[in-house]
């Protein structure tokens, strides 16, 4: 997708009304029916599998539905347009959904037999074993996530069609790899021990801090796309950037906190010796 040029926009201009956005982009540009169709096909296939092959627990089914709902919220609603052309804050909400909400929901929601079938595909097995190796998975996700937020890279990704298409899916794949050691349902690819999971989560939280601090603790707006965009919601470009950094930090902190609590719940002292 090639975004409309924003070079004519004045950073200090009057905020664009929502009605004007609707008129400019239309229903298709705001709600992406192609994403609705794709996710509907995925849900129908899931329903067919659930009814013909394997009983799926309600919690697992709900997790899958919530996962595809989070994908649509990120990639098919006006949030995507706002993140692409107007607000870094909206872009951060997208990326938090794709990295912190979608992967655990989908990993838990997909039936084990499907994961086992995928694991038996030799080429997928080789790739997945490499990218889900815990230290590499943690480093790879944080490098991709932080790299895509580097101002020059983010600006380029919103102007280059191929990078624009690849960036969110590349980040989603590395996020799935990052969550896999904590949630793997397969005996062939066992989860980390409970003690190792806590250490893994600690380093995951630690590695996301530099990008978060850089974005929040700045005295100037660093992203050309958002600096030149028409102002919305009375947010200056600098306020939008700082708010985006706060949204990213809180979203990732909450996700890691939930994972930490879930991992720690019910522990006794023996887990330190696993």
Tell me the per-residue pLDDT of 204-223, one tens digit each, with 9 for 90 and over.
999 999 999 889 988 899 99
Q: How far is CA 25 from the centre of its chain?
A: 24
Alpha carbon of 254 to those of 89, 113, 247, 262: distances in Å?
A: 17, 30, 11, 12
pTM of model > 0.75: yes
Q: What are the residues whose beta carbons fall under 8 Å from the beta carbon of 180, sequence distance 6 or more?
A: 107, 128, 132, 137, 189
Residues 158 and 91: their CA atoms lie apart, in Å, by 11
Residue 271 has pLDDT above 60, yes or no: no
Alpha carbon of 167 to those of 48, 57, 71, 77, 220: distances in Å?
A: 31, 33, 14, 18, 25
Q: Domain locations in the chain?
A: 18-273
């630690």: which residue's tokens? 206
Residue 264 has pLDDT above 90, yes or no: no
Tell me the per-residue pLDDT of 217-247, one tens digit each, with 9 for 90 and over.
888 999 999 999 988 888 899 999 999 999 9
Of 53-62, 121-130, 172-181, 221-230, minimum mean pLDDT range: 53-62
Tell me the per-residue pLDDT of 18-68, one tens digit each, with 9 for 90 and over.
677 777 888 888 999 999 999 999 999 999 998 887 778 899 999 999 999
Do 79 and 73 touch, CB atoms closer than 8 A?
yes
pLDDT in the model for residue 239: 95
The three-point CA angle 50-36-258 to 5° equals 65
User: Can you read off the two tokens belonging to residue 100?
Assistant: 């912190």
Residues 162 and 91: their CA atoms lie apart, in Å, by 18
Do 113 and 54 touch, CB atoms closer than 8 A?
yes
């Amino acid at each position: 997708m090639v975004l409309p040029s924003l070079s004519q926009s004045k950073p200090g201009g009057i905020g664009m009304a929502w009605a004007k956005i609707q008129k400019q982009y239309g229903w298709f540009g705001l709600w992406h029916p192609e994403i609705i169709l794709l996710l509907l096909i995925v849900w129908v296939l899931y329903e067919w599998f659930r009814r013909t092959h394997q009983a799926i627990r309600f919690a697992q089914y709900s997790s899958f539905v919530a996962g595809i709902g989070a994908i649509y919220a990120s990639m098919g609603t006006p949030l995507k347009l706002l993140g692409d052309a107007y607000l870094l804050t909206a872009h951060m909400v997208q990326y938090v959904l794709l990295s912190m909400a979608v992967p655990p929901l989908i990993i838990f929601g997909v039936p084990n037999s499907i994961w086992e079938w995928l694991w038996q595909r030799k080429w997928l097995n080789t790739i997945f074993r490499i990218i889900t190796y815990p230290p590499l998975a943690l480093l790879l996700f944080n490098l991709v996530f932080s790299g895509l937020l580097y101002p020059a890279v983010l600006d380029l990704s919103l102007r280059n069609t191929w990078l624009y298409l690849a960036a969110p899916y590349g980040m989603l794949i590395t996020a799935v790899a990052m969550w896999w050691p904590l949630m793997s349902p397969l005996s062939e690819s066992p989860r980390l021990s409970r003690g190792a999971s806590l250490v893994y989560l600690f380093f995951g939280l630690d590695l996301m801090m530099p990008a978060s601090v850089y974005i929040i603790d700045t005295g100037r707006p660093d992203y050309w796309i958002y600096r030149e965009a028409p102002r919305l919601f009375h947010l200056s470009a600098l306020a939008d950037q700082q708010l985006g950094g706060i949204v990213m930090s809180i979203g990732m902190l909450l996700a890691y906190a939930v994972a930490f609590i879930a991992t720690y719940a019910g522990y006794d002292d023996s887990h330190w010796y696993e």
